[in-house]
Amino acid sequence: MNKAVEQALNNQIKNEFFSAYLYLSMSAHCDRINLPGFAGWLRQQYEEERAHALRLFDFLADRGGEIALQQLDTPQAEFSSPVQLFEEVLGHERKVTGMINDLYALAVKENDYPTQVEMQWFITEQVEEEKTAGDIVAQLKLAGDNSTALLLLDRELGSRAGGTTE
Ligand code: FEO
């Protein structure tokens, strides 16, 4: 297959695994500060990112591409507040959207139609990812310094994350 697209897909496999790693680190942080609902929600995000990485992995393998796994950076482990943490989630998802858009543009440039179709799934997914993270940031800002509101939000996110603890 086209070497430039193959390399870009390998890079994106790494980026998705890094997203998983980052959200797992954030989950550990929320667990440490006694917000188990946020921790559960982030752990569910970790699972989703792993699924994204494996989806690209399988796509590349099915097309006869060469898989070249790359080293992951150490994810951030400390955050100053829940709102700061979720602003990082939103910023990270926006960055990932840019990466997916670049990959789509490369697939267009290289006339790689299967990769264009595959990237359409990710483009749709990114709309949802950014919206979800943005909604949580907005709700955390509304909660402000009100710890009762924060605990209610923690419970609500925890119930949405239900059933993801393995
Ligand atoms: Fe795989 Fe959250 O984008």
Q: Per-residue pLDDT tens for 74-94?
A: 999 999 999 999 999 999 999
Rounded Cα distance between 157 and 52, Å, is 22
In a domain, 166, yes or no: no
pLDDT of 114 higher than 60: yes
Query: How many folded domains does the chain comprise?
Result: 1
In a domain, 47, yes or no: yes
Evaluate: CB of 52 within 6 angstroms of ligand 1.
yes
Evaluate: CB of 16 within 6 angstroms of ligand 1.
yes
| pTM of the entire predicted model | 0.94
In a domain, 118, yes or no: yes
CB neighbour class for 61 (10 Å; exposed up to 12, middle 13-18, buried from 19)? exposed
Closest atom of ligand 1 relative to the 16 alpha carbon: 1
**Nearest to 141, CA basis, from 159, 153, 129:** 153
Q: Report residue 47 as tokens.
A: 């699972």
In a domain, 156, yes or no: yes
pLDDT of 164 higher than 70: no
In a domain, 165, yes or no: no
Closest-CA residue, ligand 1 atom 1, reads 49
| Residue 65: strand, helix, or coil | coil
39-81 pLDDT, tens digit each = 999 999 999 999 999 999 999 999 999 999 999 999 999 999 9
In a domain, 38, yes or no: yes
Domain that holds residue 134: 3-71+79-160
Evaluate: CB of 44 within 6 angstroms of ligand 1.
no
Evaluate: CB of 96 within 6 angstroms of ligand 1.
yes
pLDDT at res. 166: 39
**Cα 24 to middle of ligand 1, angstroms:** 13
In a domain, 14, yes or no: yes
In a domain, 124, yes or no: yes
CATH code for the domain in which residue 40 is found: 1.20.1260.10
The residue type of 105 is A
